Chains A and B, each alone.
Chain A
Amino acid sequence: MSDPTDKKPVDEVTGTETTGHVWDGIEELNNPLPRWWLWALYLTIIWGIGYVIAYPAWPMISKATPGLLGFSTRGEVARDIDSFREASAARDAQLASADLSTLADDVELNRYAVSSGAAVFRNNCSQCHGSGAAGAKGYPNLLDDDWLWGGDHASIAYTVRHGIRNDSDEDARYSEMPAFGELLEDGEIPALVEYVRQLADEEYDASLASAGEPLFADNCSACHGDAGTGDREQGAPNLTDAIWLYGGDRESLTQTITYSRFGVMPPWGTRLTEAQVQAVAAYVYQLGGGEADTPSN
């Protein structure tokens, strides 16, 4: 403490010691801070120095100083991912060999498949099909009950695994609609458009549609069927339902018939693990359109 002979300046009103600093006749009172508070400050400084040595801290030109402990948030994430992989390895193995048609009986595994499938979907599929799986023009909506290549577990998993109309997987689902602009006479395409609209129960021009009917039978029914109900073996859309992948208005239909369409989906079997393919198939199946599985022999 201070020397008792040293006469401390004291504020008369409050009886508090002053610092001796005076500004325009106003004296600064001295209410000392506890000393341990100062130590706490020094402690934080020491801690700070230690932290800077141990952990990544100072930003350098390309990256920060690494720190002696070798900690990195990237490494932390990688460790987390590894630990989750390890934790779910057993269930992944189970899922990879599971029969998806009876998956729902195993509540635990089904829940795992659907929630991990949701993650796979958001990472890999949502770029085209949308985060809510509602699709877009040219990219099928996976929530409805309309399927080009089949909507049971096995068909969905096959489509995911091999893709559609791609060059990289020889088992990819494949079909190609001719560009009828080169094959049909002038005036025949508008007639076909009207007939297709009649099939789909849309408003149509009756005289043109009746002219389109024989044209449909000659050119389209081989794939789309006599009644226009499509053929899943060839991925030929059902033309009588309310769903259009590229639009059911006259302009879109004219374009589709004239130039054809050629939607491509990459094969995911080479990029995803078998468990991930199964999981994303299970996820897509339960979005709203899943069809009854035909029992396999």
Chain B
Amino acid sequence: MADTPPSLYAAREPIFPRRVTGFFRSFKWWIMGLTLGIYYLLPWVRWDRGPNLPNQAVLSDLEHRRFFFFWIEIWPHEFYFVAGLLIMAGLGLFLFTSALGRVWCGYTCPQTVWTDLFLLVERWVEGDRNAQLRLHKSKWNFKKWRLRLTKWVVWLAISVATGGAWVFYFTDAPTLAVNLVTLNAPAVAYMSIAVLTATTFIFGGFMREQVCIYMCPWPRIQAAMMDEGTLTVGYRKWRGEPRGKHKKGAKAAAAAQAATVYDFANLPEADQGSGDCIDCMACVNVCPMGIDIRDGQQMECITCALCIDACDDIMDKIGKPRGLIDYLALEDVPPPPESPERATWKPRPIWQHILKPRTILYTALWSIIGAGLVFALFIRSDIELTVSPVRNPTYVMQSDGSIRNIYDVRLRNKSGDDRLFHLSLTSEETLRIGLEGTETLSVEVPANQTLLQRVYVTARRKDAAASTDRTDLRIWVEDLSTQTRTSAATIFNGKEK
């Protein structure tokens, strides 16, 4: 037992991921281009909605409390669309995680995408892994300063662009861009840019895998959604072990090179007794998380699949089949070598890992909610009303003994021009409707606005409703120009006995 207790805190181990090429790397470049392209350019897409409305395709208009998405316009009271989209996002995450593991982490998480971009800059400025290692160990001379400052400046430029793009989603982008440059933009815009610039710069440049390991809850949550049948990035231990140095003579067994599935019946003699892993460390060197995938499943692994590319490259070179590191299910392990079934064993086909009750259930739920939202989107009307009865007091006695109830009616005109709304009511009892401020039953609601109208419903002294505790009624509103109508049910309170 040591006299001095071990340190309870550990410094970050620097990681210098090596450049890698291959299918997954290319796929990730495409996803990076797509996601960053959408993020940076979307606020600049224009969409003509006519006069009085913003012409920005995607706009979260905080000032007027509207959300615009191309042809869709969401009002604050329709926030259930956002709730629905969040539920769909959650279910989508369940679906993908149960079928394909942490693909969100590996391919589309902003932390991953921006870190990838920053790594690209790092390699471009400082060189690949070995050059970076040398620079890391060298003294702070002119060259080190020059390279570091260049890298930081480029990172900072990306960070400013990232923070800058964010604020364009909340107000008209071209106007704000001019205001930002001429220092006329609101303080909150500069603050948002500053905060997002700082987080991008620090998280992408310096924190990197620390964010995933120590700050993000998803690794824990997603790990709980995976099962032994989930496809995830892993190392075929049964194939790779025992590891050993590559023996030149084994190259004679290049016959298996083209095989995509390992042929157990025809293992080359030379390979008997030693695994396919030649311990070249390629998988470790390319890992942006700084882990060894051969240690098995671990929380740090974001399943970016770069180790698959790295290992496949090596397997090609030494004439072994690809897939020593691969997308695999943990349950797909062959019987032990001495078992006679091993020769005929084959891993379960991919589709069986993807099409399973859980994923089908998630897909069904996801589709139902999605269909519901689309349905709700199409049945939305241009006009709407909400009725809130004034219940302080519940009724008012008029001088002629009639009983009046007051309702705050909010009339929404979602169309682009002013509309005349006509109000009426239906009830089984005799009730009369009136509007505050006008003798008529019509009121003009300005374009794209909600109008609060005080509405009076009256029962005459001798009417049954006047002395009935609760009478059902329905208030109707009709847009006189289009004949669209809608209604809301409410209650009339009579005089207490």
By secondary structure, the A interface counts as loop
Query: Residues 373-392 of chain B: 1 if any A CB is under 8 Å from the residue's CB, otherwise 0?
Result: 00000000000000000101
Beta-carbon contact of B396 and A242 below 8 Å: no
For residue A247, CB closer than 8 A to chain B, the reply is no
* Interface residues as binary, B402-414 with A (CB distance below 8 Å gives 1, 0 otherwise): 0010100000000
CA distance A95 to B456 in the complex (A): 27
* Complex-state Cα separation, A57 to B404, whole angstroms: 54
Cβ of A278 < 8 Å from any Cβ of B? no
| B10 interfacial contact with A, CB 8 Å | yes
Looking at the complex, which of B1-9, B66-74, B306-314 is the stretch in contact with chain A? B1-9
Q: B461 interface residue, CB < 8 Å from A?
A: yes
Q: Mark A80-122, 1 if CB is under 8 A from B, else 0.
A: 0000000000000000000000001000000000000000000
The answer to whether the Cβ of B11 comes within 8 Å of any Cβ in the partner chain is yes
Among candidates B210, B390, B392, B397, residue contacting A144 with C-beta atoms closer than 8 Å: B397
Q: Is B399 an interface residue (CB 8 A)?
A: yes
| Given A30-B6, A130-B392, A35 and B11 contact (CB-CB distance below 8 Å) | yes
B341 interface residue per 8 A CB criterion: no
Which residues of the other chain, A, contact B456 by a CB distance below 8 angstroms? 288
Q: Cβ of A32 < 8 Å from any Cβ of B?
A: yes
Residue of A nearest to B207 (CB): A36
A5-13, A66-74, A182-190: which lies at the interface: A5-13
Residues of the A chain whose Cβ atoms lie less than 8 Å from the Cβ of B393:
130, 132, 134, 143
Q: Is the CB of B10 within 8 A of A33?
A: yes
Docked pose: A145 CA to B4 CA in angstroms: 89
* Interface flag for B124 (CB, 8 Å): no
Let me know if B6 and A242 touch, CB within 8 A: no
Q: Tell me the residues in window 297-343 of chain B with beta carbons closer than 8 Å to chain A beta carbons.
A: none
Q: Which chain B residues border A241 with CB–CB below 8 Å?
A: 399-401
Contact between B9 and A34 (Cβ–Cβ < 8 Å)?
Answer: yes
Give min CB distance, A239 to chain B, whole Å. 11
Question: Mask for B1-28, Cβ within 8 A of A = 1, else 0?
Answer: 1101111111110000000000000000
**Nearest CB of chain B from residue A101's CB, rounded to whole Å:** 13
Determine which of A9, A30, A141, A288 lies in contact with B1 in the assembled complex, contact meaning CB atoms within 8 Å. Answer: A9
> Known contacts A241-B400, A242-B397, A286-B437: does B10 contact A32 (CB below 8 Å)?
yes
Task: Sample 25 A-B pairs with CB under 8 A, ordered by A number.
Answer: A1-B7, A2-B6, A2-B7, A6-B2, A6-B4, A8-B6, A20-B2, A20-B6, A30-B6, A32-B6, A32-B7, A34-B10, A34-B12, A34-B210, A35-B9, A36-B207, A37-B214, A131-B392, A132-B393, A144-B399, A146-B399, A241-B400, A242-B398, A242-B461, A286-B437
Q: Which 8 A-B pairs have the closest CB atoms?
A: A132-B392, A242-B401, A241-B399, A32-B10, A134-B393, A146-B399, A143-B396, A35-B9
